[in-house]
Structure 1
């Protein structure tokens, strides 16, 4: 998405910039929602495809789909929570180490700040003023070291929010391909084809949503996500069909 100068000027006026930068950083839950949605749809439709390929009844496909939906959704949410928590603990550990280093060898830590900003083009008296200003407050000093030396962002992480977002996106999107199997009066082929269309629409929709958020080409993003989900479902179908042929599953 492109903007004209007239569109950008209001939000770049001094008062607007000051107000925007004074607000606390917002937690971006969209990556967790996209991850949960795609994985949920892949999980349940893979079960449906495998069951259909193996010749199982629609009831078996529904039971397996619901069981996998709940178990995998919980597992993925816990995994995302643990990953976010581990990242936060790592940031806290590095921050504590930097505070300790500042207490023990402040001149060495100042030299790190000096070299970091010299590499950015600062020099002479201006460089020394920057070093003095940043190292005058230990919190700002450590925050700068986290970002510049360790490439860590000390704010914006919420493990619980990440886990809940992943779980609900997984459950809501993942339940969609199972809807035809919850309807009575449809034969197995019709249920599978309806599930296939719904899953395809979910994959394509998630890809388009991702493109709107991150300003990427909509159709390309939609088809890319559809291709990834279709490949996973295809593998599940082939596996189920081969298992049926090799082991005589009924």
Structure 2
């Protein structure tokens, strides 16, 4: 590790910097929602485009189908994400109420749960008893510890509305990219499809690179993996459209 990186790392681990970082909300909190929306949006619209091209439909039909799917699926996915996060928040709130009730009814039993949780983490003897006493002296800390440690639930709540908006915006923006060539009437259908293919491939690769920020993966590896996943979905849609045309006489 070079000196500059070491100095930067040491600066990030100063007490005041650590305290400020832990207090501040994560700027990347809604990035997974955006990544999910972007991937699904690009897969959805390019799959429609691929299927339409494979079936031999006109560019106009591909564009209409792509826009319709973009709007409907984007809204559906945003609503689904909203409901999922809202349900998670309600579940955590229910667990908190339950833990408050348990502390009221069987405080010694709840104290023993704290003791055993930290015993499994390697605390023993006087140190363990001080940890138990410190946590149980603050009811809210006690409950939050039980929620996180006993039930394995995330105690930092996400905003359902913000998560839904992040998903919807990413879905619409990224999902619209493969449709842009179909709004260029001066291109013939084959060139429209190939341009859409190149744009979709670029979107998949860039989204994969964005994923590496969240999951701390190598940029190139993450980009190529997402590109392969998106390419497989598009290839399946193209093959389905081509087979439907051959088997059922679909298309123009």
The normalised TM-score by structure 1 is: 0.95
Q: Which moved more, 1:186-195 or 1:4-13?
A: 4-13
Map 1:92-107 onto structure 2 (within 5 A).
Answer: 92-107=93-108
Q: Which moved more, 1:128-137 or 1:103-112?
A: 128-137
Distance in 2 between the 1:186 and 1:18 partners? 56
Map 1:1-250 onto structure 2 (within 5 A).
Answer: 4-24=5-25, 28-249=29-250, 250=252
1:36-56 residue CA offsets vs partner (Å, 9 max, x unmatched): 001000000000000000010
Q: 1:204 to 1:91 in 2, by over 3 A?
A: same
Distance in 2 between the 1:25 and 1:132 partners? 31
How many Å apart are 1:27 and its aligned residue?
6.3
Distance in 2 between the 1:192 and 1:176 partners? 12
Q: Which moved more, 1:28-37 or 1:11-20?
A: 11-20
How many Å apart are 1:26 and its aligned residue?
5.3
Query: Aligned-residue CA RMSD in angstroms?
Result: 1.7
How many Å apart are 1:213 and its aligned residue?
4.2
Distance in 1 between the 2:249 and 2:19 partners? 69
Distance in 2 between the 1:164 and 1:221 partners? 25
How many Å apart are 1:154 and its aligned residue?
1.4
Q: 1:60 to 1:25 in 2, by over 3 A?
A: closer
**Which 5+ residue runs of structure 2 have no aligned equivalent?**
none
The normalised TM-score by structure 2 is: 0.94
Q: 1:25 to 1:232 in 2, by over 3 A?
A: closer
How many Å apart are 1:102 and its aligned residue?
0.3
1:39-90 residue CA offsets vs partner (Å, 9 max, x unmatched): 0000000000000000101000000000000000000001111111111111
Distance in 1 between the 2:154 and 2:145 partners? 10
1:191-241 residue CA offsets vs partner (Å, 9 max, x unmatched): 111111111111111111222443321211111111100110111111111
Distance in 2 between the 1:151 and 1:213 partners? 21
**Which 5+ residue runs of structure 1 have no aligned equivalent?**
none
In the alignment, is the contact (CA less than 8 A) between 1:27 and 1:158 conserved in 2? no
In the alignment, is the contact (CA less than 8 A) between 1:203 and 1:225 conserved in 2? yes
Distance in 2 between the 1:226 and 1:19 partners? 37
Distance in 2 between the 1:160 and 1:83 partners? 11
Q: Which moved more, 1:186-195 or 1:150-159?
A: 150-159
Q: Which moved more, 1:107-116 or 1:129-138?
A: 129-138
Q: 1:22 to 1:58 in 2, by over 3 A?
A: closer
Q: 1:64 to 1:90 in 2, by over 3 A?
A: same
Size of the alignment, in residue pairs?
A: 250
The SS at the match of 2:29 is: coil
The SS at the match of 1:9 is: helix
Q: Which moved more, 1:175-184 or 1:10-19?
A: 10-19
In the alignment, is the contact (CA less than 8 A) between 1:27 and 1:156 conserved in 2? no
Distance in 1 between the 2:38 and 2:55 partners? 26
